[in-house]
A and B are shown apart, each in its own frame.
Chain A
Amino acid sequence: MLFPTVQFALFFPVVLAISWALMPRPKLWKPFILVASYVFYASADWRFTLLLAAVTLGNQAAAVLLRRTEDERRRRRIVAAAVAFDLGLLGVFKYYAFFVQQWEDALSSIGLGPPVPLLTIALPVGISFFTFQAISYVVDVKRRQAEPASMLDFAVYLSFFPHLVAGPIVRAREFLPQLAKPRDPSRVAVGSGLALIALGLVKKVVIADYLGRAVVGPVFAVPQAYAAPDVLLAAYGFTAQIYCDFSGYTDMAIGLALLLGYVFPQNFRSPYRATGFRDFWRRWHMTLSRFLRDDLYIPLGGNRRGKLLTYRNLMITMVLGGLWHGAAWPFVLWGAFHGVGLVCEHAIGGRLRLPGWLRWLVTFHLVVFGWILFRSPSLDEFGTFLSRFTVSGPASLWTATAVAAIIVVIGTQLLPPDSLERVQTWIERRSPALLGAGLAIVIALAGATVSGQGVPPFIYFRF
């Protein structure tokens, strides 16, 4: 069930009303929201709920075992087993076909047959997100940054439908305290919630899908057929599209959670405003960045063991971060590219002094270059795409709408943050009736821009 669909528009008001009706009675509210979240997830494929339940049981068992022992060696082993369990599931469902095909290609090149069956396995929606949340829970408990939750609380935390399929990756220590007592029904951020839902809808349905349909999809599918002006537009177009697609989803998720009384961490903070790679990762998919930092980079040693090991740790973190996005070489190289960028920044330190606008310009275009790699189906296609920058020809896809959409998406991120906050504060002060009517108008207008083929899935759903 996608957020911008009629099914969800029917599902959510019912869940919202019952949720607040049951909120004063946590013993009823928690089972209710758990069932609602599983119904939401089962709408994709009911069999996936078995996997979600297995991840819940496996990681809760680890948390319970952690509570029972103070022996650090034993605690480390428990965490290692839980992480291996989660990554094992991720490996089977997400990477099996990729790695087996690579293995088969390597073996057949030396005349050997396939070692294991070549099979495709359906990717359960959101597996990358909920397995990471489960890992963060066990790690938080191990580090004593969170108490082990009850089985029911942990199940609600992992399956809570606003963040279930594409994040943000909410840490246990951020969500479990909110579950500890009923949310206050007299202090609901209705204005922010509805504004975020409307904003997310516009970003996804109006801007991202339009750019995908009109510019990005055609060029990335057959770059050979386009010349420099169009591939340039497609590169900027995808930069705007992926931001609107993913941050649009996140806005909706955060807005829905706010209406239910819960706060999620921020996931985007004007990422195209960044003036360096480190700055970019503090603004883009922030909940993944801190997961990678806290649960991979720092345990590897972080920057505590000298320059070379810091660089190694950065590269490992970013390459694995790239692989997290999908089982394909372009994702791995995209991660490595950002890793190299971070290493260079570390190596240069403060020695190179450039004006702010130049740092922004360089960073932005390096990020755009990275997105070309990210969007290319294969390395061959990436090479073809780049080669088209040298081919002169007509700007067949340059329309006022496409150019305006890209400028608006990137330009608004360069505005001072307080100007956007002022707009948000103004919206938040309107009456609920006006906000509801406003949301209806936005949905109707956004819906009118949807093609008969429906709303394309969010890009991050496949991760």
Chain B
Amino acid sequence: MNQPRDDSLMSRFDRAGLRRFTARDAVVSVLLAAFLLVLFEGHSVLRAGERMNPGVGRTAVVAVGHPSSWIADRLPLASLADKTTAWLSPDPSLDGGGFDEPSAVAVGGSIPAVTPEAFSPQAIGAKPHRRRLKKLLVTGDSMSMPLDSVLAKRLVDKQVDVVRDAHLGSGISTTLVVDWGKLSRAQIKKHHPDAVVIFIGANDGFPIPGAGGDDVGCCSADWAALYANRVRQVANAYRQGGDARVYWITLPTPRNSARRKIARVINAAIAVGAQPWASQVHVIDTVPIFTPGDAYRDAMTVDGKDTIVRQADGIHLNDAGSTLLATEVLRAIEGDFVL
């Protein structure tokens, strides 16, 4: 057998002074760490499970998460750990206006009045009042990336302050990562943007609690209505009583058939959710741009050249797709603002 050069330092753990233990010690120390984590962080297991996509893995994690959470609930250790480590969290604390508040769930019984905000100036042939755009918030889930940086680059020379605030893994139909009802209010309070671009929905499809408290599963008309109500709540926060403009981007048709069904319902819900304020909340429909006829495609003609516009996951837009979308978004923004 030829002897190759040994530069892998495979014997580095054989040095003198290294204490060796038994396999039992290894198992005990790892199990002890797991046990302590259940006592102090039991809720995290259940939360992690609930955030996972349906499947065997999720079932297993949730199955362990329930007793872990039960144990953590009955001991003061979890809350002690939370209080002790809260200062380390990078997330801002959000309060008020969440999706779980009764006003967010209730559906009115009377006939809602149509207001002037329901008419976009273009639809009634009126001239829009255009002002200078000073601050733009680009937000959403992973769909909003890299659109946010493309917009920021395009607007940097126009003295527009672009705030990029993507919340990966989040969705309108779930509050497990972040409650967009609360988050939208916090974003407005913090940034006071003149306009908001929101592109979200890649992770949606979670059951939404209905007015009666029971979960309504995706993607019935009931679920679409609940989703639209949440869209309306978020859009209402972003429009700031009519002072700001909102550009809500629909989902381009995804490759996966299950996600395609969800995307179709989400897009319909966005259109309905934005209706009361058509002059202030513009829906930018990506389906005719990227997936005409609701048919998925990886590539399309851009500037006379065939170009891949989607990422390999069949959900997100790549750099070229985001650049194309940014042009559409800026066109919409220019209808309301001077750039």
Please give the residue numbers on chain A whose beta carbons come within 8 Å of chain B beta carbons, in ascending order. Answer: 1, 5-7, 9-10, 12-13, 16-17, 20, 23, 43, 97, 101, 104-105, 108, 113-114, 117-123, 143-145, 147, 171, 173-174, 185-194, 210, 213, 218, 221-222, 224-225, 258-259, 261, 263, 265-266, 269, 282, 286-287, 290, 294, 377-378, 425, 428-429, 432-433, 435-437, 439-441, 443-445, 447-454, 456
Contacts and interface: CB of A to CB of B under 8 A. Distances in A.
The 3 A-B residue pairs with the shortest CB-CB distance, nearest first, are: A265-B8, A436-B32, A448-B85
B66 to A, nearest CB: 13
A218 B312 contact: no
B2 interface: yes
A97 B48 CA distance: 34
Where chain A touches its partner, the secondary structure class is helix
B14 to A, nearest CB: 9
A440 B32 contact: yes
B114 to A, nearest CB: 38
B152 A222 contact: yes
B18 A428 contact: yes
B153 A222 contact: yes
Contact of B312 (A121, A193, A435): A121
B1 A114 contact: no
A191 B21 contact: yes
A425 B17 contact: yes
Contacts of A449: 88-90
- Most chain B beta-carbon neighbours within 10 Å: one of A23, A118, A266, A445: A118
18 contacts: A6-B48, A17-B31, A43-B57, A108-B306, A120-B310, A120-B312, A221-B146, A266-B12, A428-B17, A429-B19, A432-B28, A440-B33, A440-B37, A441-B36, A443-B37, A448-B86, A449-B88, A454-B177
Contacts of A266: 8-9, 12
A118 B307 contact: yes
Given A290-B8, A435-B29, A443-B37, A120 B314 contact: yes
Contact of A432 (B25, B152, B157): B25
Given A120-B310, A266-B12, A449-B88, A192 B44 contact: no
A210 B88 CA distance: 11
Given A189-B20, A258-B13, A144 B2 contact: yes
B4 A433 contact: no
A433 B28 contact: yes
Contacts of A445: 85, 88
Interface in B128-143: none
B308 A97 contact: yes
A44 to B, nearest CB: 10
A436 B36 contact: yes
Contacts of B8: 171, 174, 265-266, 286-287, 290
B44 A210 contact: no
Contacts of A117: 299
Contacts of B81: 444
Interface in B9-43: 9-10, 12-13, 17-34, 36-37, 40-41
Interface of B: 1-4, 7-10, 12-13, 17-34, 36-37, 40-41, 44-45, 48-49, 51-52, 57, 60-61, 64, 81, 85-86, 88-91, 146, 148-149, 152-153, 156-157, 162, 164, 167-170, 177-178, 298-299, 304-308, 310-314, 318-319
Contacts, number: 230
A185 B22 CA distance: 5
B111 to A, nearest CB: 39
Given A120-B308, A213-B90, A259-B26, 5 more contacts: A6-B49, A118-B308, A210-B90, A265-B10, A441-B36
A123 B308 CA distance: 16
A261 B85 CA distance: 34
Contacts of B167: 452-453
B23 A23 contact: yes
A221 B88 CA distance: 25
Contact of A114 (B40, B146, B157, B306): B306
B79 to A, nearest CB: 13
Contact of B44 (A213, A269, A378, A447): A447
Given A171-B8, A189-B13, A261 B23 contact: yes
Contact of B307 (A13, A101, A282, A287): A101
Contacts of A258: 13
A190 B9 contact: no
A221 B152 CA distance: 9
Contacts of A287: 8
B305 A105 contact: yes
B27 A20 contact: yes
B61 A188 contact: no
Contacts of B26: 16, 20, 188, 190, 193, 259, 432
